[in-house]
Structure 1
């Protein structure tokens, strides 16, 4: 059956964003050929929310301590696009990729599924 998920980020500066993911976020990767990097991600989960509008997808990176994570990323020169805001479901912020794209981060305040089955 399904054994993984493949997420694609479309970027106006793919080379810079790939370097950021590898060098700043520290994700290991493989070259799938011709410099097309594919990065190993932390454990993941998927949620399905109702909408009255068109179907869409969103990507968020989760962290255990959003203030600490943002401080560490700031020290590495990462721009914080949106400071921490308190949501009903967690603490939300966003950083900027080198291409200018927004990458949301959140610290969940709800049970998470990404670690189910781990000892």
Structure 2
């Protein structure tokens, strides 16, 4: 047995349609699955170029809407990405870019309060001699 990938992250939301509009419109995710089955809406979106998708969920009692924290979206140019997202209405939780040895980032929340990090990773972090 071997685990091969991180396939899906469940994102708890109140209103799947409102969340779909945010993730597809403001963040540019692609809708891959949008279907109703057994009285539940199954809605899966994927960030461009990502191997991991998200599923917008309403049915996990242990995951109330807005409880996701610490999910990280990577980018090549933090300033450019932040400007593009702000232009699409994404509001960031910090005024200033945060910095650490591993990279630079800012945090935003989706309409339900799920907190996401947009990060540009330091490519030299953790390498010998850095």
Alignment TM-score, normalising by the size of structure 1: 0.70
SS at match of 1:22: helix
The change in CA–CA distance for 1:111 and 1:20 in structure 2 (over 3 A counts) is farther
Q: Are the equivalent residues in 2 in contact too, given 1:80–1:96 (CA < 8 A)?
A: yes
Structure 2: stretches of 5+ with no match in the other structure: 53-68, 126-130
Q: Deviations over 1:21-67 (max 9, x none)?
A: 1111111113342242211233358xxxxxxxxxxx84100011111
Against the structure 1 CA distance between its residues 3 and 89, is the aligned structure 2 distance closer, same or farther, given a 3 Å change threshold?
closer
1:15 Cα shift?
2.6
1:37 aligned residue: 43
Q: Name the structure 1 match of 2:79.
A: 67
Which residue does the alignment assign to 2:8?
6
Superposed counterparts of 1:1-119, under 5 Å: 2=4, 5-34=7-36, 35-41=41-47, 42-44=49-51, 58-82=70-94, 83-110=96-123
The RMSD of aligned alpha carbons is 2.5
Mapped partners of 2:120, 2:44: distance in 1: 25
Q: If each structure's strand is expressed as a fraction of its own residues, which one has the higher value? A: 2
Preserved CA contact (<8 Å) 2:75 2:120: yes
Distance 1:39 1:31 in 2: 7
CA contact (8 A) 2:77 2:120 kept: yes
Moved more, 27-36 or 87-96: 27-36
Return closer, same or farther for 1:98/1:108 CA change in 2, 3 Å cut-off: same
How many residue pairs end up in the alignment?
Answer: 101
